[in-house]
Structure formats: structure tokens, C-alpha cells
Amino acid sequence: MASCSGNGSRGHHQFTLNVWESYVSDGANNYSTVSWSLVLSPIQNGWDWNYSATVPVSWRVNIAGVEYTGNIMQYDGRSTITVGSNSLNIWHESDGSKSISFSFEVWDNVSANYLPGYASGSGSMPLTNIPRYASITRFDLSSGLENIRVDWSADVACDWISYKLNGGNWIDAGGTTFYINNLAPNTQYSVKIKVRRKDSGLWTESSTKYVTTKDIARITSAPNINFGDTARITKTNPSSTLNHVRVETLNPFQTVATRTQTSDDMAITFTDEEWDKMYKCLGNNNSLTIRYVVDTKGNNTYYDWVDRTLTLKGNQKTIKNKQNSSWKRAKLWIKVAGTWKRAVIWLKVNNTWRRGI
């Protein structure tokens, strides 16, 4: 409670304005009820008055800019009486704060000594701060291949967080960091969040932000190679996901080699067994199409590929024959059911069997 007092100018009467906050609403309503009473009490007993026709003593009370007026009809000069009272609702500022000022005046219209004369007083009072909306102080988005990470914070304690994806329904989340999962790669999404302030229960919504998920791994360069070469492949991998690189033949379709790789610059050195698989696809040709595949998750969900040519030339392991002082690569052919087929010869070199062409 706050109050202010003033004595009448003739020295016989005191006036006191009492002001107090009688009700505080919840955060959603954001107002207080302020009550007041103007009290008259004697300084010296016996200065009474009673008028039935004319009322020469008037008063005015101002509470936060709202004015109340009235007249004092009579006073017995000895007791304390309330000459006026009321209540009003006062709305707080948007942040829940509010201070008010108040004042009163009393005057009479005649010069009789038994009347109070002029009295006044003024004061101010802060009202209870009403918890309002939280302010979102941080709202950051970062993306992975199939998810979005959301980091947020607020200026006060919040007990609930929800998000909206691409303008859909609100979905509950948890923690100051959470993930939105099961998204598509290389896709733009819009995200909005709302948080509930713990003490007021009011929700604050953020602005809309946009983020694009990471793209799948993609091949940027892959070579045509000859039998026996090392295949150097470069690729992008924005999500840094552990991925598989495969080499396939198309006719017949088969996976010849698989490597697990996170480096964006890699070299594939084929084993003899892998060379043999590709050699068997040549038939009567000196070349075949091979496919380089980068599989982002290793489960054939997201993949990128390019087709290149594998050629049988002179830099592979071959059997050679010296003719006219010059070594020449020899090919071995055998006729099967009336059709010439390229044959494979195996030689034991350093206790290891090697395929010769």
C-alpha cells in the first residue's frame, strides 16, 4: 500500500489518500486492479460541520490519470471517516511493468474556521510486474543430409518448445537443441519455432527461417582406364557421410569392386580377382563400359554414377613375345563351337598365380 497525506490549511483536519493493488491478473490479461480510499481524521477534536442544503467542502482524487470527485456532507469533528473510495483496472506495459501516480485535493467554498480549508497530497507506486512473453535470443539452423539441427535460447525460463516445418502443424520438440529428421537431401525447408514462458504460460513465435539440407555425394571426375591402371576418382560429399564407391559392369550387370571411403580424392587399385571379373565381360571386344557409383549411405538409397570405358591395351599384365628385337604382346585365342574366344593363361610368379592375357 502507498499513501499520501495533507493537512487542511486551517489546521484542524487531516486527509490521507491510501492506494493499494487489490488484484493482479495472469500474464495473458496483463492488468492490475488498484483500489483507493480518501480518509478524513481530526487533528483537534470538535471541528465539526453539517449542511443540509449547500455543501461547501469538495474533494478530487486522481489515480493514474483517472479522476474522481465528491463532496463531504458532514463531519462530527472527532472520528475518522472514509469520504470516498473506488477501484479501477490499470493495464500494464507490454513487458508487464507499470508504475502509477496519484494525488488528491480538498477545498471549501467559504471561509469558516471550522471547515478544513485547502489540503492536497501526491505520490507514486510501482505495481507488481506481470510475467509476459519470452524473447527468443537465439534461433539457428544447420543441416545434415536428411535432418535439420535447431539451436535456440530465450531470455527467461521456458518449459515448452514447438516447431513448424514448411508452414505445417506445430510439432512438439524438446531441449534447446533438437533435430528435425526424415528429410530429403538438397531440399530447402522453412522452419518456425515457438516457446512458452514458464511463469506466464504465454507463447512467443519466431520469424521464419530457411535452410537447405546437404546434397548427396556426387562424382566430379572419373577416368577412362586401361586394363591394369589405377582409377583415380574425385567426388563431393557435403554431408561428410561415410559412403561407398562401387565399380560395376553393365553386361552382364555385376558389382566388380566396392570401397568404403570418406576422402574426396581416392584411388582404386583393382585386385587380380576384380580384373578377372571385368576381363570376362570383354567377349570378342577390346573394351567395355564400366560404371563408377558413389553410394552416399551405402544402402543404395542415394547414389550418383558415371559411365566410362575400360580398354584392353598394352599396360596390363600380359604375355609378351620378342619379335624382331621388340617385345610384342601376345593374345591367346581358342575356337569354341566354331567361335573364337579370348583365353586366359595363368602363370605362377613368385609363388603367386598371375593371370596372363
Indicate the domain borders of the chain. 2-126, 136-212, 218-311, 319-356
Alpha-carbon Rg of the chain, whole angstroms?
A: 47
- Top CATH class of 136-212 equals mainly beta
- Cα gap 153→140, rounded to integer Å: 10
- Cα gap 6→261, rounded to integer Å: 88
Residue ranges of the chain whose pLDDT lies below 50: 315-318, 329, 357
Maximum alpha-carbon separation in the chain? 150
- Cα gap 318→345, rounded to integer Å: 9
Residue 318: the pLDDT is 47
Q: What is the bridge-based pairing of β-strands 218-221 and 231-236?
A: antiparallel
For residue 328, what is its C-alpha cell? 610384342
Tell the burial category of 179 from Cβ atoms under 10 Å away from its Cβ (0-12, 13-18, 19+).
Answer: middle
Residue 201 · residue 27 · CB < 8 Å: yes
For residue 105, what is its C-alpha cell? 485535493
Tell me which CATH homologous superfamily contains domain 2-126: Immunoglobulins (2.60.40.10)
| Global pTM exceeds 0.95 | no
For residue 68, what is its C-alpha cell? 474522481
For residue 311, what is its C-alpha cell? 580398354
Residue 150 CB coordination number (10 Å): 22
Which residues, in sequence order, are CB contacts of 7 under 8 Å at separation 6+? 13, 14, 15, 43, 119
Q: What is the bridge-based pairing of β-strands 225-226 and 303-311?
A: parallel
For residue 119, what is its C-alpha cell? 489540503
Residue 315: the pLDDT is 42
- Cα gap 274→38, rounded to integer Å: 102
Which residues, in sequence order, are CB contacts of 44 under 8 Å at separation 6+? 11, 12
Amino acid at 16: T
Of 134, 214, 209, 195, whose CA–CA distance to 167 is shortest? 209
Residue 219 · residue 295 · CB < 8 Å: no
Residue carrying C-alpha cell 536428411: 146
CATH number assigned to the domain covering 218-311? 2.60.40.3580
Residue 316: the pLDDT is 44
- Cα gap 98→90, rounded to integer Å: 9
- Cα gap 156→72, rounded to integer Å: 50
